[in-house]
Chains A and B, each alone.
Chain A
C-alpha cells in the first residue's frame, strides 16, 4: 500500500445514499398520501443522511479504514479453470469493478425501474376499467298484470338510461303461474349464445299490445313464439331456450327476477347449460355468466377454466 497522502482523499464506497434516497422518496410520497409515511420517510432520510455524512467525512476526521477491494465472484473459478498462473497484471484488473460498468448497469437498471413504475399504472388503467365497476342491472319491467300467464312478453329496456339506446337489451318473459304458492317466471335473454346476435321470436308478435313502462324506457310487446331463431347464422332454440339447431353451444342465457310491490324486477344474468322440463317445473343447469360461444359444461368447458369477473 502506498501512503494515503500521495493521493487525493476519495470518499470510501458507501451504500448509505440509497437509504437516504429511499427516505426522501418516502417523505415525498408521504406528503401526498399520509403524514405517518412522511414522518417515517423523514426519519429514514435523517438517519441515513447522518450515516452517509459520517462515512464521507471519515477520511478527514479519522484514519482511513483499510477496505478490502471487492473481487468479482467468478474470478477465482475462472483462474482455476485456466490452469495456469495468471500474469501479475491480471489480478489487478480483476480486482477493480470498473466504474463505467457500474454506471452503465445502474443507469439501465434505474431506467428499467422508472419505466416499470410508469408503465404499470398506465397498463392497469388501459385494462382494468373493462373488468371493474360493471353496472349491476336493476330494472323494473312493469306490473305483474302486464305478464299474462303462459304467454311470452318481449321486454326491451335501457340497461343504463344515461348511456342511451346503445344499452337497449331485450328479454323474453313468460309468467309460468304459481309453483308451490310462489310466482314463477321464465326470463330468457335475447342474445344468441353462438356469437351474440339478437334472437327473434318465431311466431306472431302483437304489435298493438306494445306499451311503455317505467324510467328504463321498457317496451312490452306480447308474442306467441314456438321458439327463437337467430338471423345471423341460423341458430334455433325452443321456448325454454334449449338449442334445437345450428351452431350455438348451450341454451340461451337467463336472468333472475324479483317481485317487489306487485311489480316484476330483472335480476342479474346467468348462463345455462341445459334446461330439463319446461315452465315452472324446469330444472336449469345454472352457471356464471359466460360470453357467447363459450361452453359452460362438458369437456369443452375445460378450455375456459377462468371465469371473467
Chain B
C-alpha cells in the first residue's frame, strides 16, 4: 500500500476551510498586537544543542512562584488579617473549607519549594559561569529576586498568627533592630508601632500580598527579558558553540566563556559565548 509523502499531499478544501476558521481569530489578534509573533519568539527561541534538565531550574522556580500567586489569591478569599480573627480564619481554611487544607498546604510547602529552587537555580548559574558578561545584570536582578522571595517568607510567616508566628516575627524584627544607625527605626516601622500589634499584622499582610509580589513580578519580567535578549549559555564543557549565531562562535576546542577572559565582544544570542 503506497502512500504519498505527507508533504506533497494536497490539503482538502474542507481542511483549508477549517484552518481558516481556526486561524482567523489568531491572525486578527496578531495583526493588531503582534502578540502571537511575540509568544512564538518567546517560546521557540534557539538554545544551545546540549542543554539539559539543569537548565529548567529557572522555569521550575517561575512555576513555583505562579503556584504561590494562585494559591495565595485563593487563600486571601478567606483569610482575615485581624488579630481577633486571623488564627480562627486559618483554622477555618484548614479544617472546614473543602480542600482548604490542600491549598493552604500547597502555599505553605510551596514557599519552601520556591526558595529552594531559587538557590538551585542560582547555584546552576554560578557553577556554569552563566552570570558572566553580558549577563551580570541578570545575576543582580536574580539576587534581588532572592531577597524579595525571602521577604515574602518573612512576612508570610506572621500571618497564621499563632505563637510560632508571633515570636519568630518578634525575633526577626529585633534582628533588624540591631543593624547600626537606622536598625531601630526599621524595626519600629516594621512593627507599625513600638510593639507588634494589629498594625503589624495588616502591614505584613499588605506587604506579603501586594507590594513584594508586585516587585517580584516586575523583576521576573525584567529577568525573562534579559534571558530572551541575551540567550542561554552553553555548558562550560561544551567543545563547540551551540547551533545559534555562527558568527560569534568560540574557537574550536575552546571552552566557551572560560577561554577568553577579559574579551568584551558584543552581546550574543543563543551561542556559547
Contacts and interface: CB of A to CB of B under 8 A. Distances in A.
A163 interface: yes
B174 A293 contact: yes
Interface string A23-65: 0000000000000000000000000000000000000000000
Contacts of A164: 83-84
Interface stretch (B40-48, B54-62, B180-188): B180-188
A136 B188 CA distance: 16
Contact of A163 (B83, B167, B188, B194): B83
A304 interface: yes
Q: Is the interface of B mostly helix, strand, loop or mixed?
A: helix
Interface in B193-225: 193-199
A196 B84 contact: no
Interface string A287-309: 00011111000000001111110
B188 A196 contact: no
B204 to A, nearest CB: 13
Q: Is the interface of A mostly helix, strand, loop or mixed?
A: loop
B84 A293 contact: no
Given A131-B188, A291-B184, A196 B171 contact: yes
B177 A293 contact: yes
Size bracket, chain B contacts: 20 to 34
A291 to B, nearest CB: 4
Contacts of A308: 184-185, 188
A96 B187 CA distance: 55
A217 B95 CA distance: 32
A15 interface: no
Interface string B164-194: 0011001101110110110111011101111
Contact of A294 (B166, B170, B183): B183
A197 B171 contact: yes
A300 to B, nearest CB: 9
A291 B83 contact: no
B189 A127 contact: yes
B183 A159 contact: no
A110 interface: no
A204 interface: no
Contacts of B185: 131, 306, 308
Contacts of A160: 197
Contacts of A291: 174, 177-178, 183-184, 187-188
A125 to B, nearest CB: 12
Interface of A: 127, 129-131, 134, 159-160, 163-167, 195-198, 232, 290-294, 303-308
Given A196-B171, A291-B187, 6 more contacts: A163-B197, A167-B195, A232-B171, A291-B188, A303-B181, A308-B185
